[in-house]
Amino acid sequence: DPCRNFHCKRGKVCHVDQQGKPHCICQDPAACPSTKDYEHVCGTDNKTYEGTCQLFGTKCQLEGTKMGRQLHLDYMGSCKYIPPCTDYEVDQFPLRMRDWLKNILMQYYERDLNTSGILTEKQRNKVKKIYQNDKRLVAGDHTVELLLHDFEKNYHMYVYPVHWQFHQLDQHPVDRVLTHSELAPLRASLVPMEHCITRFFQECDGDQDKLIALKEWCHCFGIKE
């Protein structure tokens, strides 16, 4: 099968032409496999798609048009009303996000104690220092005031989690800047719970070039140069 090891980007599928050569064509949205309700996704056009196959197939068919350029995965789940983010909320967002990233790494470290594999040895060594620090703020529903106080008092515990998340996302390609599609795995899963995340990342892009550089990312999370 000429298509076996032939890779097509999202929204396209491999097709063998009359000469037996493989090439990529747009996925027909109507031919996508059926999905469950929990697999539905919301596009930036505020339309619910049955799954990512249907969304990216539609985007591919609109390639070269303004609608195609503007259509992206907005968030997981069916489209619903997302309340606007206030100035106060967007200011508080980095506090919760930093705490959340730190606690994700703590969970990964605990899992790796039994079955290693999630974190590399270098990552484990960095996270171990945070995990074993007796001043570490443990996971919980903390007030904004407590999160702010802990960040100022134990700043060094938050630096690595912020850097770690950036490098987890910076994969296609690894170039020290995040594109919309590289941010999507984080954004799309969080929008329904953290309605400020879209505005936060828009405002992170200080030079408005639609890319978030490592320097911009760290600045947004309060990490010093």
Q: Where are the domains of the chain?
A: 12-76, 87-221
- Assess whether pLDDT exceeds 80 at residue 114: no
pTM, rounded to two decimals: 0.80
What's the pLDDT band for 112 if we cut at 50, 70, 90?
confident
pLDDT for 13: 94
pLDDT for 76: 92
For residue 213, CA distances in Å to 35, 183, 197, 217 come to 36, 12, 17, 6
Q: What is the pLDDT of residues 54-63, one digit of tens each?
A: 999 999 999 9
Contact status, residue 48 vs residue 79, Cβ threshold 8 Å = yes
pLDDT for 216: 97
- Assess whether pLDDT exceeds 80 at residue 69: yes
Q: Which fold has domain 87-221?
A: Recoverin; domain 1 (1.10.238)
Reading phi first (left if > 0) and then psi (alpha if -120 to 50, else beta), residue 208 is in left
Other residues' Cβ atoms within 10 Å of the Cβ of residue 141: 5
Please name the residues in contact with 212: beta carbons below 8 A apart, sequence gap of 6 or more: 177, 178, 183, 201, 204, 205
- Taking each continuous run of H as one helix and of E as one strand, the counts in the chain are 9, 7
C-alpha–C-alpha distance, residues 24 and 28, integer Å: 12
Q: What is the pLDDT of residues 152-182, one digit of tens each?
A: 999 999 999 999 999 999 998 899 999 988 9
Domain 12-76, second-level architecture: 2-Layer Sandwich (3.30)
Q: What is the pLDDT of residues 11-42, one digit of tens each?
A: 999 999 989 999 999 999 999 999 998 899 99
C-alpha–C-alpha distance, residues 104 and 7, integer Å: 32
Contact status, residue 40 vs residue 77, Cβ threshold 8 Å = yes
Q: What is the residue whose two structure tokens read 């999507």?
A: 184
pLDDT for 185: 87
Q: In a 3-state reduction of DSSP, which class is residue 189?
A: helix
Q: What is the pLDDT of residues 135-146, one digit of tens each?
A: 999 999 999 999
Structure tokens at 95: 């506090």
pLDDT for 152: 95
What rounded mean pLDDT belongs to the chain? 93
Structure tokens at 37: 């309700």
The tally of CA atoms less than 13 A away on the side-chain side of residue 93 is 22
- Average pLDDT (80-87) is 92
